[in-house]
Amino acid sequence: MNLKLGKYWVWFAGISAALMLITVLLAVYYAPVAASSVKTANELFPSIEGSTITVAGFVADREIMNPIRYPEDPPVTAIILADFSDYRRYLDAVVAGDLEGEWWTVEPITVRGPYLPLGTNVSATGEVVATLDSSSFMLSCDSSDDVVELSSPGEAGIMTSPISQKIFYFHMPSAWVSYVGFFLTLVFGVMYLRTRNRTYDRVAASSAELGVLFATIAIVTGPVWAKEEWGVYWRWDDTKLVTTFVMWLVYIGYLMLRAAVVDHSVRARISAVYGILGFVTMPMSLLSSRIAPLIRSSHPQVIASSSGGLSMEAGITIGIAVVAFTFLFITMLIKRVEIEESEDELEELKRRVGGEE
Amino acid sequence: MANEFTALYVAYTIVWAGVFVYLLYLFMRQRSITKNIELLKQELSKHGK
């Protein structure tokens, strides 16, 4: 069986190129610098005075790298991730207190002195003693008399690095088509096991290879953004990052397995089973940032629920980017399957020539 | 701000470089396979198969 899509390849390639060009133009000139609208502190915390909350996250501001600070220095600004029971939100935290003594207690380590190293995991539990204005409040920590002032960065300021946030318009669609690729590997693997039709194995293998390509792009571009936004390239305690990395490794293993087995039917059968079992990593990666706060992840959610969502301009841009990457994926898949067919033809010819000699 | 643009350029370059290198790899692989197929077909036709 042949998919007979090869004759449409030029059309798919042309549409992909046009959509990609439109995506670049939209991402650079049309899309807003911040992907999400941000609610003010009062909207997020309607009546929090007197309540005890825990703020947790990690230090991601380069300025905190300065190891020596003096009492006359201005308060240190930390970007931390507020972690409450039902939503997560980046907040600017201006840490005030006795600069000469011990600051607020952070977990899992206690910072001694006015110095929070980059990447430090921090949390502070305390009572909200006052709501300062529409976007900030004061938190009195249990551990000391120090006070932590938190403020929402405002409507356009959720991202500390707004320009690099435009990476999102290519990072997220890359991740999306990698998920599509791994899903197709599952579907066509099942179809191969049911029918033993060689075409299904070709599509499964091609989908996995493309999935790995786009997952690699997503995994590499993500840290470029993270370095600007979080101050670190990678966080091993972030479930989204780790599960995506595991998924990537699993499908690298799929490709290595196919390369290692010579016999066609054995390779197709084993890799179909591997592709089905390996697919369990895909929903783990896809859903890992959505099932917080059960599992910790500071990875942004594209389609937020209670905590906001995409603006119209960002939604249009990301929508077109997803369509563009999907067309690009189909274009590459058609070509890749053609190559698999050609390789089979080559093997058959080699067998005939070898048999003749 | 300059660093932010650098990050943007780096990320976009990674995306496009990844796509173009893979497409180049596909076309080179296809060309190589097609060439080998033609050679083997000629070999077989020489032997009357």
A228 to chain B: nearest residue by CA? B4
Residue A64 CA neighbour count, 13 Å, CB half: 26
Q: Which of B1, B9, B19, B43 to mutate to test the interface with A (most CBs of A within 10 A)?
A: B19
Q: What is the pLDDT of residue A255?
A: 97
Q: What is the pLDDT of residue A87?
A: 29
Q: Write the pLDDT tens digit of every residue in A133-181.
A: 433 445 554 444 444 444 333 322 334 455 777 888 899 999 999 999 9
Q: What is the DSSP string of A47-112?
A: T-TT-EEEEEEE---GGGG-----TTSPPEEEEEEEE-SS-EEEEEEEEES-SSS-----SSS---
**Residue A136: partners with Cβ closer than 8 Å, 6 or more residues away:** A41, A149, A150, A151, A152
**Under a CB-based contact definition with an 8 Å cutoff, are residues A162 and A156 in contact?**
yes
Domain count across chain B: 1
Instruction: Tell me if chain A has a CB within 8 Å of the CB of B30.
Output: yes
Amino acid occupying residue A309: G
**Boundaries of domain holding B19:** 1-49
Q: Is the pLDDT of residue A63 over 60?
A: no
Query: How close is the nearest chain A Cα to the Cα of B42, in Å?
Result: 11
For chain A, give the percent of residues with pLDDT over 90.
35
Q: Is the pLDDT of residue A341 over 60?
A: yes
Chain A residues closer than 8 Å to B14 by CB: 217, 220-221, 224
Query: How close is the nearest chain B Cα to the Cα of A257, in Å?
Result: 20
Among A167, A225, A342, the residue with its CB nearest the CB of B37 is A342
